[in-house]
Amino acid sequence: MTAKRDHIIISHWISAPDGWTLLIHGGAGQIRREATDAATDAGVRDALRLALEAGSALLAEGKSALDAVEAAVRLLEDDPYFNAGRGAVFTADGVNELDAAMMDGATRSAGAVSAITRTRNPVSLARAVMAKGPHVMLSGAGADRFAAEQGLEQVDPSWFRVEERWRQFEEMRDSGTFDVDLKYGTVGAVARDVQGHLAAATSTGGLTGKRWNRIGDSPVIGAGTWADDRGAATSCTGSGEHFIRAGAAHEISSRVRLADEPLGLAADAVMDDIGSLGGTGGVISIDGSGAGGWCFNTPGMYRGLATASGVLCVALYGDE
């Protein structure tokens, strides 16, 4: 744990293990042991474990980092504990608008979607944009139309609605506040495969009560999501506006690539910078050697790590 300026950054970095590595997150924020009931604690840990297992199984078979991050994120999107896909937060208009991105560190191909309302797994749509479309970023109804053309499952918008999120939305609406310091539940994954290639993916419902088709950092390539084999792959969660202003995920990669900084130092420094702008949240990151980890300046962050050497661990709070 390193104390910097007036905020604390909690970080954990491992040196490069042999073979593949996978890191995931399910959001950072006001995640405290004393405020979490036992069922939620167990449910979130199980969901993180399942996502790690799904991605790890693919990496162990020699599949790509892209396949692994997509598989892990899809499971988290379908799980109502997280603010992505099913269980996404509500906009001020009481609807779910979903954002996602994916990037391939080998080719720097990237795909992103924002404000979609009908595609069940936004991360798979981001991948389709990356792999099959001429563009990098699509939004709204057009993005959902592209998803349907690509044969991706379409659902009624009610699929994304869960009652607990609606309750949170009503509470916020009635109190007249805006979701800037709550529990961010964005999900993401970064991986290095046995071929040595990196990938990153992020998926989110954004912030509760967002207005005017607000788009956060998650689908902004270079802000909430970035992958470059020569530097690092990163997925962010937190107060998206600050991560955009810091160019967070790209900045971490650039520090590694151009300044030759160790990944942990680079990511901690960028998180420190975000904190100095007033931002809160966290990142997971991995470099071309497979060294990776996380850092966050919030009380907790849902997170997990798996490596080819048999490590598989999940953590929720800042003290574990």
**Which residues here bind ligand ASP, judged by CB under 6 A?**
27, 83, 184-186, 204, 206-207, 216-218, 224, 237-238, 240, 281
d(CA 129, CA 111): 5
Closest by CA to 262, choosing from 252, 274, 249, is 252
Identify any residues that bridge with 287 across adjacent strands, giving them in sequence order: 232
Instruction: Give the nearest distance from C-beta 184 to ligand ASP in angstroms.
Output: 3
In which region does residue 215 sit, left (phi positive, over 0), alpha (psi from -120 to 50) or beta (all else)?
beta
d(CA 82, CA 85): 8
Identify any residues that bridge with 110 across adjacent strands, giving them in sequence order: 103
Q: Is 186 a catalytic residue?
A: yes
Closest by CA to 70, choosing from 100, 28, 114, is 100
Decide: residue 180, CB within 10 A, 0-12 exposed, 13-18 middle, 19+ buried.
middle
Place of tokens 């048999």: 310
Instruction: Give the nearest distance from C-beta 123 to ligand ASP in angstroms.
Output: 14
Residue 197 or 303: which CB sits closer to ligand ASP?
303
- Report which residue type is found at 146: F
- Report which residue type is found at 294: W
Q: Which of 21, 91, 117, 186 is catalytic?
A: 186
Residue 178 or 257: which CB sits closer to ligand ASP?
178
Identify any residues that bridge with 305 across adjacent strands, giving them in sequence order: 23, 313
Instruction: Give the nearest distance from C-beta 178 to ligand ASP in angstroms.
Output: 12
Instruction: Give the nearest distance from C-beta 144 to ligand ASP in angstroms.
Output: 19
Contacts of 61 (CB under 8 A, 6+ apart): none
Instruction: Give the nearest distance from C-beta 229 to ligand ASP in angstroms.
Output: 25
Which amino acids are annotated catalytic?
186
